[in-house]
């Protein structure tokens, strides 16, 4: 009989016994349900980064066995006067070695517009490479001496992926 009274107190709220355990149990179920709902949310419910984080390809180059691209934040690209002379911005550089079965990685770079606005300078500071000077109208440049030599670059801020065709 002693066990019956304990059971009554646990399962019912007659005397206020074991109410804390019951509330903890319900709270645990609530947390599990919330976690399942959060993990099963559709991809469309994911919050996108703010405007400053969007990147746009602004330079495309093709070399022997590799292609290179430079991406800039859209806040710079769509600024009233575009990229200002002497302005240095953080961007990303890709070296696509898919042909060599090595994939395509993103590398942070510093991009600077020259004072005369005729040259874009890409500084691959993470690999201690010398800065690459690319004519704004496009031209042939060397990014790095292993994969990026003799790369033909299209015009800066051109969105046409087939610039050389």
Number of domains composing the chain: 2
64 and 135 assigned to the same domain = yes
The answer to the question of residue 162 being in a domain is no
Span 55-88, pLDDT tens digits? 889 999 988 888 899 998 888 888 887 788 888 8
Same domain, 12 and 89: no
How does the average pLDDT of the chain come out, rounded?
Answer: 74
The verdict on 90 and 67 lying in the same domain is yes
Range of the domain at 34: 2-44
Q: What is the pTM of this model?
A: 0.62
Query: Do 104 and 29 have their domain in common?
Result: no
Looking at the domain assignment, is residue 129 inside a domain?
Answer: yes
Beta strand residue intervals within 42-165, DSSP E: 55-63, 66-73, 88-96, 104-113, 119-123, 132-135, 139-141, 151-153
Burial readout 118-140 (b: 16 or more C-beta within 10 A, e: otherwise): ebbebbbeeeebeebebebebee
One domain, residues 21 and 86: no
Number of other residues whose CB lies within 10 A of the CB of residue 62 = 18
Integer Cα distance of 97 and 141 in angstroms? 17
């Amino acid at each position: 009989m002693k066990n019956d009274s304990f059971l009554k107190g646990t399962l019912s709220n007659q005397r206020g016994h074991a109410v804390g355990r019951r509330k903890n149990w319900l709270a645990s179920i609530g947390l599990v349900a919330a976690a399942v709902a959060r993990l099963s949310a559709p991809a469309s419910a994911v919050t996108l980064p703010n405007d400053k984080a969007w990147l746009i390809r602004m330079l495309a180059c093709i070399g022997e066995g590799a292609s290179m691209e430079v991406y800039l934040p859209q806040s710079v690209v769509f600024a009233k006067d575009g990229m200002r002379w002497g302005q240095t911005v953080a961007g990303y550089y890709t070296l696509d070695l898919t042909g060599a079965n090595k994939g395509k990685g993103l590398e942070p770079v510093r991009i600077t517009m020259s004072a005369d606005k005729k040259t874009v300078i890409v500084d691959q500071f993470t690999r201690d490479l010398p800065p690459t000077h690319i004519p704004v109208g496009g031209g042939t440049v060397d990014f790095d001496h292993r994969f990026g030599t003799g790369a033909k670059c299209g015009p800066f801020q051109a969105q046409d992926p087939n610039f050389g065709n």
